[in-house]
Amino acid sequence: MYKILNGWFKQSRKLASPNYDLRPENTLIDAIIIHSISMPLACYEGDDISQLFTNQLDCDKAPSYAEVRGLKVSAHLLIRRTGELIQYVDLNLRAWHAGKSCLGHREKCNDFSIGIELEGTDQSVFETAQYDTLIEVVKALLIYFPHISKEHIVGHSDVAPGRKTDPGTGFDWDELFSRL
């Protein structure tokens, strides 16, 4: 069973990102936003995602990286294809993962959500090891943040429609919810 201690998963590899800030005062964390990411696209080797989230990415390394040059982004968590869990931001702080976003009538989803990146693309099928880790992570989050409801476990595409499409068609929502 995954454990959270002082905002950090005990089972995670910790790589602190500078890209975070305080949540607005008295904000209840009540949502999880699931994303997908790979760098470069469909490449699952190396540490480019971590380098992006820690402002260490060499943007001259790949032509597609020009679009992220100068961006300051992060997520709370990344689940690699192997199921490895990496944590960048204390869960109690605001990671910069959702951008311009809206869930129901509330904008600025970073204020009240946990951002989980899955290593993959909008079209990729995710690995069993990723689902195994994701299920354990979500179960621990539901205990740590009791205001999160299953209805507020959503994709980036749900909070930024027309702008984002992740986690994509390869993500199996039934697998996630049937195992919670």
**Integer Cα distance of 148 and 73 in angstroms:** 23
- Rounded Cα distance between 31 and 2, Å, is 19
Instruction: State the first-to-last Cα distance of the chain, in angstroms, to the nearest integer.
Output: 13
Q: Are strands 8-9 and 4-5 parallel, antiparallel or unpaired?
A: antiparallel
Amino acid of residue 55: N
Ramachandran angles phi, psi of 132, nearest 5°: -60, -45
What's the token pair of residue 147?
Answer: 């205001």
CA angle 98, 104, 105 (to 5 degrees): 100
Q: Which two tokens stand for residue 131?
A: 């689902």
Q: Annotated catalytic sites, by residue?
A: 117
**Could you tell me if residue 138 is left (phi over 0), alpha (psi between -120 and 50 degrees) or otherwise beta?**
alpha
